[in-house]
Amino acid sequence: MLLIGVVTLYETKELWHMESPNAVTWNATLNGTLTGFNMVPLLIVVAVIAIALSLIATFRGFG
């Protein structure tokens, strides 16, 4: 779960900073052309929740 969160954050950062021609397509998608809303904040929220859940699970396991 922690890995999923970290990977999601990393991929979001990569998408955010990509400068290749492909980035135009991604940016159009992420900026809501196809989705109707901006997906980048959503991806960040999902990643943060995944990290939080994994940390909670870890501490519960030790507790």
Per residue of the chain (63 residues), what is the pLDDT tens digit? Answer: 677 777 776 776 666 555 544 555 555 555 555 444 556 677 778 888 888 888 888 888 765
Alpha helix ranges (H) inside the chain: 2-17, 21-30, 39-62
- pLDDT in the model for residue 47: 83
Global pTM reads: 0.40
- pLDDT in the model for residue 36: 46
Please state, in angstroms and rounded to a whole number, the distance separating the CA atoms of residues 26 and 33: 10
Structure tokens at 5: 């969160």
